[in-house]
Amino acid sequence: MSVLQLSTENYQNVAIRDIKLGMFVVAVTKQKGDIHFKPGMVSSEATCRSLQSMGVLEVKIDLSRSKHQQETLLENPESNLAPEEQEQEILTTTEKTELRKRAQKLYAEAKVLQTKLLNALKNGEVVDIAPIEAMADEMVDSIFKNPDAMVFLSRIREKDTYLMEHSLNVGMLLANFGRFLKLSRQTIKELLVGGLLHDTGKIMVPDEILHKPGRLTVDEFAIMKKHVEFSVQFLDKSEGISKIVRTVAANHHERLDGLGYPRGLKGLELCLISRISTIVDVFDALTADRCYKKGMQATQAFRILLQGGGTQFDETLVKKFIKCMGIHPTGSLVKLKTGKLALVVESNDSAPLQPVVKIIYSTTGKHYLDVKVIDLAKTPTEEIESAVDPKEYGIDIQKFY
C-alpha cells in the first residue's frame, strides 16, 4: 500500500483506491470539489464506489475501530472476494482413487460421530465439541485435496437419516463453497463445524412435525421454526463455539427480503456467512430425498435458487455457488446425446458442461455397459443432453463410485 502514511498511532491516511471493507473512515483528507461526508465503516463495495464517485481522493481511517477480515465476513455482506480461479494440484488416477477411498472412510466416520452427537443431545447429555472440531480439520484437508470426492459423497443419501446427513452435507458444501471463495482455512473449518451443528435444535422438535409428510399447519410451522433458537441455545451452552458457527446456526433461515425467520433480518443485516448458509441449506434441502418426497436434481435446485436471487438470496453468491458446484455436480447422473447414462465423477471448472464422467448404462439397449471413464472435454463425440434422476432407471450411483 504505497500511499499509506502513518499520522498518529491509531490513524492512517489511505488513498481511495486502497480502501478495504471493514475500514472505519473518520475524515476525508483529499477531495475533488464539495462533498457531504459522514464518518463510518466501509461495509460494502457500493460504499467504496460511492466514495469514489463523490470525488473523495484520500481518507483518514481509525485502525482501532476498523475490522479484521474474520470480523468483516460476519459484518459485511459484500466481502472483497478474491477471483475464483483455483490452483489445484494435478493428481494421478491412483492418487485420486486413494483420496476417494479416504474421503469415503472419513465420511462414514463423520456419520457415526454426527449420529452420536445428535443422540447425546436428545438424551440431554453434555456434548463435547472437540471430536467434531478434530473431524472438521480432517474433512477440510480432504476438501482441499479432492473437492469432487466430498461433493460426491454429499449427493448420496438415505432418507431415514435426514437430519444427520443434512447437517453433514451442509457442512461439507459450505466448506467447499468457502474454498471456492478463497476464504481462510480457519473460516472454512468454522463453516464446516457450523454446518454440522446448524440444525441441532431440530432434535427438540417433535418427530411428528419434523417428519410430517406434506404441509405443516401454522401452529406446527411455528414449532418447527423454534429449532433455530434451540440450536443457538445449545451452541451458547457449549464451549469454544466461534461467531461463524453461531451465525450459520442463527441465520440459515433468514432471507434477504426479510421474510425469513426467526428474526426477519434483511438486506445489509445479513453478512456473507449468513448469505452463503441460506443458499447451501436450501440447496441441500431441495435435493434431499425425504420419506414423503423425492429430492430434486441439482439443476432444478439451481433454478429455484436463481429465481430467488435478488429477493430471497444474494444473486451474485447464488451464481458463484452454481459455478462452485458445477452445472452438473459430481455425483449427478447425466444422459448423453448418444443415449448413454453417465455419472459425473470430476468437475471441470473451465468447461462446466464437459466434466469427466463414467459411462454406465445404455438407455436405448436398456442394459448396463462396461464402465468407461471419459473426459467430455476431450471427447467431441459425446455431449451431455440433460441431467437425469437415477431412480428413474433404478440405478444406485453409490455402486459406481
Binding span for Fe ion by CB under 5 A among 23-31, 192-200, 320-328, 362-370: 192-200
Residue 149 CB, shortest distance to Fe ion, in Å, is 26
Residue 174 CB, shortest distance to Fe ion, in Å, is 13
Task: For residue 131, give every residue at least 6 positions away whose Cβ sits within 8 Å of its Cβ, in sequence order, or none.
Answer: 113
> 327 φ, ψ to 5°?
-60, -40
**Footprint on residues 134-153 left by Fe ion (CB under 5 A):** none
Closest-by-Cβ residue to Fe ion is 199
The torsion defined by the Cα of 169, 295, 330 and 145, in degrees rounded to 10, comes to 0
Nearer to Fe ion by Cβ, of 179 and 227: the residue is 227
Binding span for Fe ion by CB under 5 A among 52-60, 199-207, 239-247, 356-364: 199-207
Residue 122 CB, shortest distance to Fe ion, in Å, is 17
Residue 108 CB, shortest distance to Fe ion, in Å, is 24
Binding span for Fe ion by CB under 5 A among 101-109, 194-202, 292-300, 392-400: 194-202
Residue 245 CB, shortest distance to Fe ion, in Å, is 14
Nearer to Fe ion by Cβ, of 46 and 291: the residue is 291
Cell of 137: 480439520
What is the number of other CB atoms lying within 10 angstroms of the CB of residue 165? 23
The torsion defined by the Cα of 201, 205, 207 and 210, in degrees rounded to 10, comes to -80
Can you list the pairs that 157-162 forms with residues at least 24 positions away whose Cβ atoms lie under 8 Å?
Answer: 157/288, 157/289, 157/295, 159/288, 159/289, 159/290, 159/291, 160/291, 161/111, 161/115, 162/211, 162/288, 162/290
Nearer to Fe ion by Cβ, of 138 and 229: the residue is 229
Rounded distance, CA 270 to CA 330, Å? 30
Cell of 52: 469514489
The torsion defined by the Cα of 171, 177, 181 and 187, in degrees rounded to 10, comes to 0
CB 280 within 8 A of CB 173: yes
Rounded distance, CA 15 to CA 3, Å? 6
Nearer to Fe ion by Cβ, of 301 and 341: the residue is 301
**Footprint on residues 66-105 left by Fe ion (CB under 5 A):** none
Binding span for Fe ion by CB under 5 A among 107-115, 147-155, 195-203, 334-342: 195-203
Residue 249 CB, shortest distance to Fe ion, in Å, is 8
Nearer to Fe ion by Cβ, of 190 and 199: the residue is 199
**Footprint on residues 350-379 left by Fe ion (CB under 5 A):** none
Residue 275 CB, shortest distance to Fe ion, in Å, is 15
Nearer to Fe ion by Cβ, of 22 and 260: the residue is 260
Residue 173 CB, shortest distance to Fe ion, in Å, is 14
199 is an interface residue for Fe ion by CB under 5 A: yes
Residue 253 CB, shortest distance to Fe ion, in Å, is 6
Helices (H) and strands (E) in the chain, counts: 14, 10
58 is an interface residue for Fe ion by CB under 5 A: no
Nearer to Fe ion by Cβ, of 282 and 327: the residue is 282
* CA terminus-to-terminus distance, the chain: 49
Rounded distance, CA 147 to CA 140, Å? 9
The β-bridge relationship of strands 56-62 and 333-336 is unpaired
C-alpha distances (whole Å) from 181 to each of 80, 205, 267, 272, 325 are 10, 34, 20, 11, 12
Nearer to Fe ion by Cβ, of 286 and 360: the residue is 286
Rounded distance, CA 199 to CA 380, Å? 45
Measured at the CA of 379, the angle between CA 374 and CA 382, to 5 degrees, comes to 90
**Footprint on residues 105-134 left by Fe ion (CB under 5 A):** none
Binding span for Fe ion by CB under 5 A among 184-192, 193-201, 241-249, 366-374: 193-201
Nearer to Fe ion by Cβ, of 270 and 360: the residue is 270
165 is an interface residue for Fe ion by CB under 5 A: no
Nearer to Fe ion by Cβ, of 165 and 199: the residue is 199
Residue 231 CB, shortest distance to Fe ion, in Å, is 7
**What is the contact surface with Fe ion in residues (CB under 5 A)?**
199
